Structure 1
């Protein structure tokens, strides 16, 4: 019984031990499994973190890319807005500036720099002599002390003499170099002062000539005024030529206008996210036309304003502005030069305008300007005054280069021939023109009838083959004849030009004044006649 109990105890102990081992093994397995699951969870968590970080980085990169694209669009729209603002500011820009040129500002007043001696050439200090002290005390009692002292004195004297010789040689070299530097400075200062004096003398002469209203000085001064005018850099070449007629105090400006390409064809830039593209919205053709007309009018008014405001010598009673467009005809491909605006204004009248508030195109038309209604389509107008009628130099050059001697000179025609020419011209222009007898015309050279309904009527035409400026009396005579004839309109044609009083008198009346330049233009346009006017 006892053995059985012991055996059973052993079996139970073994069973407990085996069970414990099994439990430990299971715990180990479970621990390993738990650890594996933890590692798996950590790996999954890390993968998720990495994925989230990658996604966030990608999202951030995409956000930054979109911001860059939007910034690019903003920059394009800012640049576009600035360009449009520059074009709108062409006239207002000049109204806040004094366009008069100060002659003092043209003179050279900066003095030549004062002479500064080079520090290395400054005089040196004389070197101190080396002294040999005499023997003292017991040194005197040493045999040969006096002799040795005398030798040391001789050595010191030789050394001192060599030092002085070297110092003097160095000082002499510095003095020579100093004299050369000073001589070079004096020569440069003399040349500078001479150049300054000549320049200032030229400015003095220029100023005196300008206020004496010398033609060349008037032209040079006004060239400076227009050259100093600040325009947008892109598309504005600021090319022009000037002519001055001293008898009528008239300045004629022929100005090269920018073409329609200065108006941006894009009105706005936008970013299309779905296509990842920057898209542009086209400006409407009607807006391009309106803005271009505004630019043409702004340049004309700005030029008149600058010239009249800068007129210190009161040399300009009249200014005529012809805006020309150099381009190519898309129909023929040929280079063409066409007038798109022509305006003549008196100084007294123009300076009464409030240019800050005017409608530019309407203001020009109120001044009697010829303004192309479609400058963007190269629609030409008739210049009020042709430039070559004022500046005889260009006429002479044309004679030499283009064989103008083969063209009829209107001045050489007889009065009757000239009247016939004018009558033929208006017949070609569509009027029913009848010449009058010279003995019975009462100042009328031709009667013409405009057969158009409503707009038509009787027209009185007078032709003046004059060499000198036509005054207001001829215009008054024409107006009186119109009233006597019951005419709707009067036309005065001359081979020269008109004074300011003539234009002022005719301004509010149904009178058209055609000067020599306008006559040549009409003959060329309507009859194909290439004439000339050479006095």
Structure 2
């Protein structure tokens, strides 16, 4: 009985131990499963966070890309707006500037560098003689001390003399090299000073000639004024020809204008996300035409303003400007050169304008300008004066002297000969000319007929074989003759030039004034006559 009780206790204890072990095992399994579930959950959370981070990064990258494309579009629009503002500000740009040439600024400002020899050529310090102290104290008692001191002093003196000799040789070589460098420097400086003096003399000569209103100096001065005018670099040729007529104090300018492509063809840019492309919206043709007309008028008024404002010696009473465009004719594909604006402006009248407030086209028309209604389509106007007609009375360099005397001098012709010459000239130009009675002043009156339909009609021609400038009274006489004859147009031809009043009177009337230079040009081009005008 006792043994059974002990056995049962063992069984129960064993069962409890096994149950505890099983419970522990189950707990371990549950713990392991919990850890696995936690790990899986953590893994899922990490993966989900990674996916969220990736989507956010992609979203941010996409947003940044879209922002960069929009910024690129904004930059294009800003450049476009800046370009338009440049074109619209062409005239205003010059109104805040002083266009006069400062002759002092033409003088060279360069300064020749100071002479700076290399540091190694600086004078050296001569070696000092060594000091050998004599024996003292107990040293005097050592046998032979005095002789050894004497020998040491003698040896030191010999070595010092050798050092001095080497030093002097080196100093002599340095002085020779220094002298060579200084001579080279003085020669270069002399050449530099001579060049500066020459250039200053050229400026003085130019200034004196300009103040004396010498034609060549007046032309050079005004070319300088136009050359330094600042325009947008793209599309503006800034090419020109300048001539000066001293008799009438008239400057004639042929100025190359930009083509219509100088006006941006795009109105604006926009970014299309669906196509990931930047697309442009075209500017309307009417707006391109208006902007280009404004550019042409702005350059014309600006050029007149610059020339008149820069005139320091009152050498200009008139400026005649032909604005030319070089382009390709869209109909033929050939290169063409057409005038799209032509104006003759008196200085006194022009300086009274308030250019900051004018309507540019209206201002030009009020000055009597010929302004193309469609410069964008190369619709040409008739120049007030052809540039090649300007003052051909002077012999160009390279002309043979024999040819000079072979040319007839128009002032040597008799009134009848001059009458026939002018009549034949306009006959060669296509007019049906009928001579009339010569006037008392030695000129010739002629009535001609332009046989062209619509544009043609009766033309009164008067010629003045004058040595002096033709005044406004002759133009008034021509206008009166036109009214009496019922003519459509009047042409006044002279062998000299016209005053500003003559041009002012004729600008609003169907009157054409041809000066001596123009007459020589027309004789050469249309009648094959090489003539000259020598007072």
Fold agreement, TM-score > 0.5: yes
Deviation at 1:335, TM superposition (A): 1.6
> How has the CA–CA distance of structure 1 residues 132 and 450 changed in structure 2, closer, same or farther, with 3 Å as cutoff?
same
Deviation at 1:323, TM superposition (A): 1.0
Q: How does 1:326-405 map to 2 (within 5 A)?
A: 326-392=326-392
The DSSP-based 3-state class of the residue aligned with 1:225 is helix
- Does the CA-based 8 Å contact 1:324-1:337 persist in structure 2? yes
Cα distance between partner residues in 2 of 1:327 and 1:520: 30
Q: How does 1:105-124 map to 2 (within 5 A)?
A: 105-124=105-124
The DSSP-based 3-state class of the residue aligned with 2:235 is coil
Deviation at 1:326, TM superposition (A): 1.4
Deviation at 1:23, TM superposition (A): 2.9
Deviation at 1:187, TM superposition (A): 1.3
- Does the CA-based 8 Å contact 1:100-1:309 persist in structure 2? yes
Cα distance between partner residues in 2 of 1:424 and 1:179: 78
> How has the CA–CA distance of structure 1 residues 335 and 15 changed in structure 2, closer, same or farther, with 3 Å as cutoff?
same
- Does the CA-based 8 Å contact 1:423-1:435 persist in structure 2? no
Deviation at 1:6, TM superposition (A): 6.4
Deviation at 1:495, TM superposition (A): 6.3
Cα distance between partner residues in 2 of 1:11 and 1:20: 14
The DSSP-based 3-state class of the residue aligned with 1:392 is coil
Deviation at 1:445, TM superposition (A): 3.4
Deviation at 1:479, TM superposition (A): 2.7
- Does the CA-based 8 Å contact 1:382-1:521 persist in structure 2? no
Equivalent in the alignment of 2:78: 78
Deviation at 1:99, TM superposition (A): 0.7
Equivalent in the alignment of 1:430: none
- Does the CA-based 8 Å contact 1:520-1:531 persist in structure 2? no
Equivalent in the alignment of 1:404: none
- Does the CA-based 8 Å contact 1:388-1:395 persist in structure 2? no
- Does the CA-based 8 Å contact 1:418-1:463 persist in structure 2? no
- Does the CA-based 8 Å contact 1:410-1:533 persist in structure 2? no
> How has the CA–CA distance of structure 1 residues 393 and 520 changed in structure 2, closer, same or farther, with 3 Å as cutoff?
closer
> How has the CA–CA distance of structure 1 residues 11 and 151 changed in structure 2, closer, same or farther, with 3 Å as cutoff?
closer
Equivalent in the alignment of 2:164: 164
- Does the CA-based 8 Å contact 1:410-1:532 persist in structure 2? no
Q: How does 1:106-505 map to 2 (within 5 A)?
A: 106-392=106-392, 415=419, 418-419=422-423, 422=426, 435=434, 437-438=436-437, 445-446=446-447, 461-464=460-463, 466=465, 470-485=470-485, 487=486, 490-494=489-493, 498-505=498-505
| Count of residue correspondences | 515
Deviation at 1:389, TM superposition (A): 1.2
Across the aligned residues of Structure 1 and Structure 2, the Cα RMSD in angstroms comes to 3.7
Deviation at 1:217, TM superposition (A): 0.8
Equivalent in the alignment of 2:403: none
Cα distance between partner residues in 2 of 1:333 and 1:71: 40
Cα distance between partner residues in 2 of 1:54 and 1:234: 47
The DSSP-based 3-state class of the residue aligned with 1:252 is strand
Cα distance between partner residues in 2 of 1:532 and 1:338: 27
Deviation at 1:417, TM superposition (A): 6.7
TM normalised by structure 2 equals 0.85
- Does the CA-based 8 Å contact 2:494-2:519 persist in structure 1? yes
Deviation at 1:164, TM superposition (A): 0.9
Structure 1: runs of 5 or more not aligned? 401-408, 428-432
The DSSP-based 3-state class of the residue aligned with 1:242 is strand
- Does the CA-based 8 Å contact 1:418-1:465 persist in structure 2? no
- Does the CA-based 8 Å contact 2:341-2:370 persist in structure 1? yes
Cα distance between partner residues in 1 of 2:377 and 2:398: 29
- Does the CA-based 8 Å contact 2:139-2:145 persist in structure 1? yes
Cα distance between partner residues in 1 of 2:494 and 2:365: 25
> How has the CA–CA distance of structure 1 residues 467 and 26 changed in structure 2, closer, same or farther, with 3 Å as cutoff?
farther
Cα distance between partner residues in 2 of 1:380 and 1:397: 33
Deviation at 1:27, TM superposition (A): 2.3
- Does the CA-based 8 Å contact 1:415-1:465 persist in structure 2? no
Cα distance between partner residues in 2 of 1:127 and 1:457: 106
Cα distance between partner residues in 2 of 1:498 and 1:74: 56
Deviation at 1:327, TM superposition (A): 1.6
> How has the CA–CA distance of structure 1 residues 361 and 476 changed in structure 2, closer, same or farther, with 3 Å as cutoff?
same
> How has the CA–CA distance of structure 1 residues 450 and 95 changed in structure 2, closer, same or farther, with 3 Å as cutoff?
farther
Deviation at 1:137, TM superposition (A): 2.1
Cα distance between partner residues in 2 of 1:521 and 1:374: 30
Cα distance between partner residues in 1 of 2:168 and 2:505: 91
Which has the larger displacement, 362-371 or 384-393? 384-393
The DSSP-based 3-state class of the residue aligned with 2:302 is helix
- Does the CA-based 8 Å contact 1:420-1:435 persist in structure 2? no
Equivalent in the alignment of 2:97: 97
Cα distance between partner residues in 2 of 1:207 and 1:268: 50
Deviation at 1:281, TM superposition (A): 0.9
The DSSP-based 3-state class of the residue aligned with 1:319 is strand
The DSSP-based 3-state class of the residue aligned with 1:445 is strand
